[in-house]
Amino acid sequence: MAHEIYRVMTFEKVAPFTLRVHFDDGISQFIHFRPVLKGTRSRIDPEVYTLVCPKNSADFDPAILHNWPESSPALKALAEKWVSKNQGTTRA
């Protein structure tokens, strides 16, 4: 199976937790990150053209972002599973 390769060219914040991400093939996606992230700042990695969130070490495959309408339900489910698994844990 071929894996499509996209580059994130620019993005802009349009609302809290929501970015409009522009790709090298001219496609743009509005991406609401609230269900998968807990507040962070974003930037484009200048070497590999991915969207990264340095504060929590999150980075996103541009193909996932490019195909966000199809990808987001699975990511949201993973984030919810992670949160429920880690509820009640404490840090020293």
The whole-model pTM stands at 0.67
Confidence of residue 92 (pLDDT cuts 50, 70, 90): very low
* Each residue's pLDDT tens digit, 52-85: 887 777 788 888 889 989 988 888 888 888 777 7
Domain ranges, ordered by start, for the chain: 8-86
Which tokens sit at 8? 């994130």
What is each CA distance from 44 to 59, 81, 84, in whole angstroms? 10, 27, 30
Q: Who has greater pLDDT, 2 or 52? A: 52
Give the Cα separation of 10 and 24 in Å (integer). 9
